Structure 1
Amino acid sequence: MPTIALSDIQIRNTLVPGDLGYIAYIHGDLYAKECGYGINFEAYVLDGLKDFAREYSIIRDRVWICEHNGQMIGSLIAQHRAEQVQLRYFIFRPEYRGIGLGKHLLQEFIGFMKEKEIRRAYLWTTDEQHTATALYERFGFTLTEEKEFDSFDKKLVERRFDLVLF
């Protein structure tokens, strides 16, 4: 496979029919293969995406749909939550890791926060997501909460990270 560069990726901020279903597919597929998460994880993702679709505001939310050669390869969603924003559905296929896409998307996310004058953001992840956690911390997110759970068909520690700007 030829080398993929960040400049080969197209990122759009419009949400079109099929996007949310494909985001759910990528999550279910990758997390099953890479982490052993079960069908309950996919149900969790689908529930969250359903709520996002029903509450979606083109003004208060932002999507970054990443595509390569016309195929969705990843995403990031900033979902409004009262006076803050939640970072969600930050994922891309393994062959697109290590090209700076994650860093680029987090820069875009923080740019969105500044544009909308949103001071606070948070995200939930698990203790298994070491690479993502390191990236979040490089961008100023700090660990604020941990709790054990087994909702994804295995025992995990769920972690909340928060970011405060300005």
Structure 2
Amino acid sequence: MGDHQITIRNELKAGDLGQVAALHGRIYFEEHGFEMGFEAYVMESLLEFYRQYDSSRDKVWVVEADGEMVGFLLLMHRQDEQAQLRYFILEKKYRGMGLGKKLMQEWIDFYKEKGYKGAFLYTTSGLDPAVSLYERFGFKKVSQIKSRNFGVPLLEMLYQLKMEKA
């Protein structure tokens, strides 16, 4: 972990939503060439999340190093007792140290604790490390479509998590 003090908090604070949008805008541009429309899309969908945020059913994971946001993940409730996994992001230098796995495990634990019936997430081609993590935790690809939504040709993929019946 180096000499950085890494903490994870689970409550939203003033300034967080803007930081999440900024992280996505910058990282996805640097690593995937996504245009500004992507950052705008993240902003819009964060507003949607915020407007229906319910701390009894939703949870955020804010990863901070030395007080700065370096990662984020959230679980939001959807219709029919479904949960959506969104905004899973980590700055490059904090990847590969088990943080992503820890976040995913905590996400799954909360998902089970709340008794959701299923879960889903959308992702895009080219995010292989994230995808292999999703698959390790039981998500399976159910569909994909070609898209140029964010200024680059890619596949938008839908993954679903179906809990085994106990």
Contact 1:4 1:96 (C-alpha < 8 Å) held by counterparts: no
Structure 2 unaligned residues grouped into runs of 5+: none
Superposed, 1:54-65 pairs within 5 Å as 54-65=51-62
Shift in Å, 1:164: 1.3
Match of 2:150 among 149, 152, 157: 152
Aligned to 2:45: 48
Secondary structure of 1:157's aligned partner: strand
Runs of 4+ residues deviating >3 angstroms: none
Aligned residue identity for 1:137: E
| 2:162 match | 164
- Superposition RMSD in Å: 1.3
Percentage of identical aligned residues = 45
- Counterpart position of 2:141: 143
Tell me if the contact between 1:75 and 1:92 (Cα under 8 Å) persists in the aligned partners. Answer: yes
Number of residue pairs the alignment of both structures matches: 163
Give the letter for the 2:146 counterpart. Answer: E
Q: Residue 88 of structure 2 aligns with which residue?
A: 90
Q: Read off the aligned partner of 1:69 and give its amino acid letter.
A: D
What SS does structure 2 have at the residue aligned with 1:98? coil
What are the Cα deviations for residues 14-49 of structure 1, in whole angstroms up to 9, with x where unaligned? Answer: 011110100000000000000000011111111100
Q: Unaligned regions of 5+ residues in structure 1, if any?
A: none
Taking structure 2 as the reference length, what is the TM-score of the superposition? Answer: 0.94
